[in-house]
Amino acid sequence: MNRIGMVSTSRAGCTFIRKYLCNVYGMQDSNSWLKKNGYRNIEDAPFANQKHILKILVHYIPEHDLAWVLNDMPKIWLYRRDTCQQFLSHVARLRTGINHVYSSEEQPKIPDKSLIATRDEYERFVKRQDLFWRLYKSYGFLKNEPLIMYEDFCATPEEHIDSLYDWHWQSFGIPLKERISMPLKIDVNYEDKFINYMEVVNWFDINE
């Protein structure tokens, strides 16, 4: 099997960690291939015959295909502890159209108090979070697949790299000669940018 999946929800840090691991383990990055292509056509993907990490956001896969796709490869499960910040990042991405930045000049320029998150967006976000955890319990936990918290990985990447290698060393290679470009942290203080920042915080406090 050339493929390892990385399952997460939007803005959980999947792009950063996936590219980081691809550079360390000598794997190709699928980017968001599944967003516009069905898994049934995966063997036609340009990276299919090489060791790669497949990005799987839970809403990318039609519900009737979830079991088949998630049983077809070993997977890394990624989540973010600060779901409020994750949600605000998600909404900011929707408003600005900026997914990732690779230079300081690309950082989004968002006027203060110019964004507002809607309750519908929050409820859709929560449903996807719930779906992620249900899928992990059904297709990840029972197989003892790694569950990684984004904040922990950023604090101690080397520990996670060693642990992942021990988990599935046969899928990993040597570091790439030409390294994949790494995205920068998007530098936005969401409290300054969102009109209803405290309202959003309260949604998450109540949900907990």
Q: How far apart are CA 26 and CA 51, in angstroms?
A: 8
* Range in 6-10, 48-52, 163-167 with the lowest mean pLDDT: 163-167
**Residue 95 binned pLDDT confidence (cut-offs 50, 70, 90):** very high
Higher-pLDDT residue of 152 and 162 is: 152
Q: Closest Cα partner for 4 from 16, 86, 26, 81?
A: 26
Q: How far apart are CA 125 and CA 139, in angstroms?
A: 21
Burial of 72 (0-12, 13-18, 19+ CB in 10 A): middle
**Residue 175 binned pLDDT confidence (cut-offs 50, 70, 90):** confident
Q: How far is CA 1 from the centre of its chain?
A: 22
Q: With 90 as the cut, is the pLDDT of residue 171 above it? A: no
Averaged pLDDT for residues 110-132:
97
* DSSP secondary structure code for residue 148 in this structure: E
**Token digits for 34?**
């599944």
Percent of the residues in the chain that have a pLDDT greater than 70, as a whole number: 97
Q: Closest Cα partner for 38 from 58, 53, 60, 7?
A: 60
Averaged pLDDT for residues 81-100:
95
Q: With 70 as the cut, is the pLDDT of residue 77 above it? A: yes
The set of residues, in sequence order, having a beta carbon less than 8 Å from that of 71 and lying 6+ positions away, is 139
> Are 184 and 105 spatial neighbours (Cβ–Cβ below 8 Å)?
no
SS3 label, residue 86: helix
Question: Which pLDDT score is estimated for 208?
Answer: 63
Average pLDDT of the chain, as a whole number: 93
Question: Which pLDDT score is estimated for 206?
Answer: 79
**Residue 176 binned pLDDT confidence (cut-offs 50, 70, 90):** low
Q: With 70 as the cut, is the pLDDT of residue 99 above it? A: yes
Question: Which pLDDT score is estimated for 146?
Answer: 96
Q: Which stretch of DSSP H or E encloses residue 164?
A: helix 157-168
Q: Closest Cα partner for 72 from 81, 61, 80, 87?
A: 61
Sign of CA dihedral 5, 15, 45, 39: positive
Question: Which pLDDT score is estimated for 98?
Answer: 92
Q: Tokens 């803005």, residue? A: 11
183-206: pLDDT as tens digits: 988 999 999 999 999 999 999 987
SS3 label, residue 72: coil
